[in-house]
Structure 1
């Protein structure tokens, strides 16, 4: 895919996101669904409008969105074709509770890999954008917001801040599994924990990942989000120097320790761990990338898996 073509896709997504954010103003007074997973008319309106615009401009591209996928029982065909993946309001619960971390997320996957991402948080007026091999930007400035030599190089979980989610799956098994993982992440090292410095739950995956991209948190761990909840943000993170890996926790797993290795993230896999840009240690080229992997492995050793199926039909 030529750089100029990707830039065109990116500019299209930016224009749509900003126009619709201004149009809807994210002012929703209608809360539907259960208490854990609500939807508003704004969600439906934005997704319908985004899809209409994209189909008009790129009639051969595939379209996947939260509202339409839910209506179809998540049974859509995942292909290598250019596929726009849209969360019309990432953080709907935040909107109805007047919490500022919410926005429009528009991602484009090509050959099932993130190629373009736009996350616009209108209340904060933060626009995150990225295209493959063209860098990432926050309001036209490259993240992270703090750069070396000030930006630290964490070497253990005890030096890290984490963002995550609890999700709308409130079954006893899912809630118990997440709480157990959170407990081990927070426990001090003498008790077998990661002793992370803090754990934040903000209610929206894409805004969470943008916090990692701009170095407000060291990593994001999640099991259960759908592709539209992170597709746009992961390209923003990787283009800022971060790393994203597949994430099925190893705690309690029958996988032998010798076979516990990080795997590349699959856009349709509802498990991921995202690690921020990490500077190299002094006189040690490449150590930043190795530390990203080490932090991800340290997390996977103490969190457990929840076996959610892949998004779409493969």
Structure 2
């Protein structure tokens, strides 16, 4: 316990701390990035996909991540250089490169601005028209991302989520052999509020070419 206590005294970033007025700037200091209830709307409606997401960052790089899918009783873990697991079973992404053979996961999001909705629905229409195999959504970013890590889905994309939605699952995907990209196709930025998580670089880059980007305020924006 004495060895563990110093870890608990590190900096925290989460939805609750930001709501309380604390900043969400990611520094080089060891930092916990936590979402205690990922899938709040699911929780309210008793829709059975709710997760706890925990990520730990040092020097702005994720060291490990944990996602617990509560109703399913599935514990996903990933540690840098040590692999990714679900309830002790090693995870491996599908490795799919062909977008026409891909099952994607995403969300409609919570923003009901008509212009934003137009982009969200237009992106889905473009992807379905390629055509891809299909699109699924379970209502929690962390579980959606873990589905990519298991190989059950081939890629996930979303715009409008927050760093605490992605931090825990991101390293689980990369340790399972997947990749993280920005929706522009560039390097992934945890504070950008947008992500592509794919089973291969080829698939991620192809997906990025189809997406219209939604303008967003960054998590680390000062005002």
1:198 maps to which residue?
A: 134
Displacement of 1:294 in angstroms is: 2.0
State yes or no: 1:293 paired with 2:201.
Answer: yes
- Distance in structure 2 (CA, Å) of the matches to 1:80 and 1:240: 25
Say whether the 8 Å CA contact 1:222–1:271 is kept in structure 2: yes
2:190 maps to which residue?
A: 267
TM-score normalised over the length of structure 2: 0.92
Cα distance change, pair 274–77 in 1 and its aligned pair in 2 (3 A): closer
More helix by share: 1
Displacement of 1:117 in angstroms is: 0.3
- Distance in structure 2 (CA, Å) of the matches to 1:197 and 1:298: 15
1:179 maps to which residue?
A: 121
TM-score normalised over the length of structure 1: 0.66
Say whether the 8 Å CA contact 2:142–2:165 is kept in structure 1: yes
Structure of higher RCO (CA pairs closer than 8 Å, 6+ residues apart): 2
1:286 maps to which residue?
A: none
- Distance in structure 2 (CA, Å) of the matches to 1:76 and 1:101: 26
Say whether the 8 Å CA contact 1:75–1:313 is kept in structure 2: no
The DSSP-based 3-state class of the residue aligned with 1:230 is: helix
In structure 1, list runs of 5 or more residues that go unmatched. 1-7, 13-55, 188-193, 249-261, 277-291
Q: How many residues align?
A: 220
State yes or no: 1:170 paired with 2:112.
Answer: yes
In structure 2, list runs of 5 or more residues that go unmatched. none
- Distance in structure 1 (CA, Å) of the matches to 2:19 and 2:216: 15
Deviations 1:151-192 (A, max 9, x none): 6x53421100000011111101111110010000001xxxxx
- Distance in structure 1 (CA, Å) of the matches to 2:100 and 2:48: 28
- Distance in structure 1 (CA, Å) of the matches to 2:36 and 2:9: 21
Cα distance change, pair 199–59 in 1 and its aligned pair in 2 (3 A): closer
2:44 maps to which residue?
A: 96
Larger Rg: 1
State yes or no: 1:63 paired with 2:5.
Answer: no
